[in-house]
Structure 1
Amino acid sequence: MVAVTISAAGKLPLAKGLPATVEVSAQATVGDIKKALQAKFPKFKVSRQKLSRKGDKKSLMNEATLTSAGISDGTELEAKDLGPQIGWTTVFLVEYGGPLLIHPLFYHLPQTFYRQAVEHSPLQKYVYGMVMAHFVKRELETLFVHRFSHDTMPFRNIFKNSAHYHILSGVLLAGAIYSPTYSATSSYIVNTIRDNPRFLQGCTAFWVFCQLSNFSTHMTIRNLRPAGTRRRAIPYGYGFGLVSVPNYFFETLGWTTISVMTGSYAAWFFTFVSTYQMLVWAAKKHQQYKKEFGKEYPRNRKAMIPFIF
């Protein structure tokens, strides 16, 4: 058995008895230490715990073995309370569920929001189908495809994360696109390219290509990480020959297509905000890959936009 002493990093009301010593087997993981700590302090749930070596703020991963984490008999660790947590699966379901509720309300109840009936144009019908299909795809991927690097995130963050989807791609986008401005009798639509079946079908075909490409890259990432692990590996295959996160690139192309189709300020605003955020995430992921895999990582890859960034 290995005895580990755990003290509190700052105030820790849920474990007032710290410092305390827990014992685990030599083959245990950091996650097992957290379970042993919860056994002593039941209110201090595993999901709330951050463990690090004393004097080192770097968090120890749950799946790390004692040997790989440099933990031996007598090692001293520090525990920090991360606060109330929520699972990433739940987070994504809530985020993407917003537009799936909001868009049908604006589309099917125009008199409630615009005080008049709206004869939907082919453009509105196409965009409605595309938006709904996109977020249904995201929900299904959350349930059956994605494998997350972390089990939970702080509960308070769900409000900030959800606002992006519920407000920008929900209320703002739906309120603009299904309004009389884009109706079948609007001068913005009648006898313009936005009333041209070939234009609408061509844009939709390209959008489908983007969605399928995005899904393909998600499957590639999933297959790199066996279920129940945090394993990381260099992704190869479709899209990854040029950039580190092609899923973000195809996501951007998909929303750009909707923006071009509609010309809507709301669609362009959501696309710009989303693209900026994905560029930030892509740069971070790209640097993580290069740091973790060093010379093994393909040098010609960009972060998100082929040949540019």
Structure 2
Amino acid sequence: MAPKITLTVEPRGKPIRMLPKELTISLDASGYDLHDMIGQVCGVSAHRLRITKGSDRSAVANAKDVSIDDTGLRNSSVIHVKDLGPQIAWRTVFIIEYLGPLLIPALFLFPLRPLLYFNYDTIPAPSYVQLLVCALLTIHFLKREYETIFVHRFSNATMPARNIFKNSAHYWALAGFNIAYWVFRPDAAAASPDYNPALVYAGLAIFVFAELANLNAHYVLRNLRRPGTTERGIPSGFGFNLVTCPNYMFEIIAWLGVFLVSQLNLSVLIFTLVGGVQMYSWAWKKEKRYRKDFGDKYKKKKTVLLAFIC
């Protein structure tokens, strides 16, 4: 049996009700066990606690695959405990984020259509292209919901609950209200019976290819991490030899397909550009993390988001 140590516990920030001054724990216990013990004593979820070492302020991971011995904590070491406030599961956040743009297009195209476009003398029935765009948006976000529930594994279990509004605004406003309102207008290019069939067929082909490639990339990333752990491997496979994050690349390509089908509606392009800027930032952070974590084992990428471009 591994020896036990006694840690000195101090609050960081606001006082925490019933926080013990000392805690005895085995060296072979996990970081998850430490968070859980303190959470049970204080009567709060372990996920809303952040524990750092008093010696160097580094975080003690809330993970089952990191032992207390691994953290460098020893007898009489000081740990600081901070209450992060109410939390919400990352999986729940994504489900809510994607629910808006999943439902809004059909609502705008059908039951809300007379209310949204009341200032038109006549409101024609949705055109073939408008119905097609609605179908593509629905398929895309149904896929997102499927991946959230069945594919993705999250390194962090929760996030501050207050962030749900900020995180959802991008999808609900730009992918939901923005695209649906402008593409489904009675005077939009997508409403015309004289649409450009080349744009439609090219856009459909691009969309189907990119959605399947994106799904494949997500399964590759899923299989790099064992359930219940935060360990990562080096991804490889279709697209990963070109850029750091092919899942982001194929996401952008899929939206370019929607842009073509919509008859080049600027609202789709705006959403794609805004999302692309954010994904570029995330991709570079991931590239830097791969280089740091894997060293010479990792083949550095010159382009992280779009092959041969950026």
Q: Partner of 1:244 in structure 2?
A: 244
Shift of 1:173: 0.8
CA distance in 2, matches of 1:296, 1:121: 53
2:88 to 86, 89, 92: 86
Question: What pairs up with 1:65-214 in 2 under 5 angstroms?
Answer: 65-109=67-111, 110-115=113-118, 116-182=122-188, 189-193=192-196, 196=197, 198-214=198-214
- The residue identity in structure 1 corresponding to 2:261 is M
Task: Choose 67-76 or 96-105, whichever is displaced more.
Answer: 67-76
Q: Partner of 2:230 in structure 1?
A: 230
Q: Partner of 2:300 in structure 1?
A: 299
Q: Partner of 1:283 in structure 2?
A: 284
Equivalent pair of 1:243/1:305 in contact (CA under 8 Å):
yes
Task: Choose 268-277 or 116-125, whichever is displaced more.
Answer: 116-125
2:18 is equivalent to residue 8 of structure 1: no
CA distance in 1, matches of 2:161, 2:56: 25
Aligned length: 300
CA distance in 2, matches of 1:234, 1:182: 45
CA distance in 2, matches of 1:39, 1:157: 25
- The residue identity in structure 2 corresponding to 1:82 is L
Equivalent pair of 2:28/2:68 in contact (CA under 8 Å):
yes
Normalised to the residue count of structure 1, the TM-score between the two structures is 0.92
CA distance in 2, matches of 1:226, 1:55: 31
Q: Identity over aligned residues, as a percent?
A: 36
CA distance in 2, matches of 1:57, 1:252: 39
- The residue identity in structure 2 corresponding to 1:6 is V
Normalised to the residue count of structure 2, the TM-score between the two structures is 0.92
- The residue identity in structure 1 corresponding to 2:132 is Y
Shift of 1:202: 2.6
CA distance in 1, matches of 2:217, 2:69: 34
Task: Choose 204-213 or 1-10, whichever is displaced more.
Answer: 1-10
CA deviation vs aligned residue, 1:87-112 (integer Å, no higher than 9, x gap): 00100000000112211110112112
Change (3 A) 1:210 1:135: same
- The residue identity in structure 1 corresponding to 2:286 is K
Q: Secondary structure at the match of 2:223?
A: helix
CA distance in 1, matches of 2:195, 2:226: 50
- The residue identity in structure 1 corresponding to 2:194 is N
CA deviation vs aligned residue, 1:13-53 (integer Å, no higher than 9, x gap): x33x54611122222011111111122211x3211100010
CA distance in 1, matches of 2:105, 2:166: 20
Equivalent pair of 1:126/1:204 in contact (CA under 8 Å):
no
Structure 1 unmatched runs, 5+ = none
Equivalent pair of 1:119/1:183 in contact (CA under 8 Å):
no
CA distance in 2, matches of 1:192, 1:174: 18
Equivalent pair of 2:7/2:75 in contact (CA under 8 Å):
yes
Shift of 1:72: 2.3
CA deviation vs aligned residue, 1:187-222 (integer Å, no higher than 9, x gap): xx34342xx2x5312311210100000000000000
Q: Partner of 2:272 in structure 1?
A: 271
Q: CA RMSD in A?
A: 1.7
Shift of 1:141: 0.4
Structure 2 unmatched runs, 5+ = none
2:60 is equivalent to residue 60 of structure 1: yes
Equivalent pair of 2:6/2:25 in contact (CA under 8 Å):
yes
Q: Secondary structure at the match of 1:153?
A: strand
Q: Secondary structure at the match of 1:67?
A: helix
Q: Partner of 1:221 in structure 2?
A: 221
CA distance in 1, matches of 2:188, 2:129: 8
Q: Secondary structure at the match of 2:236?
A: coil
Equivalent pair of 1:121/1:182 in contact (CA under 8 Å):
no
CA deviation vs aligned residue, 1:219-260 (integer Å, no higher than 9, x gap): 000001111111111101111011111000000111122223
CA distance in 1, matches of 2:8, 2:149: 38
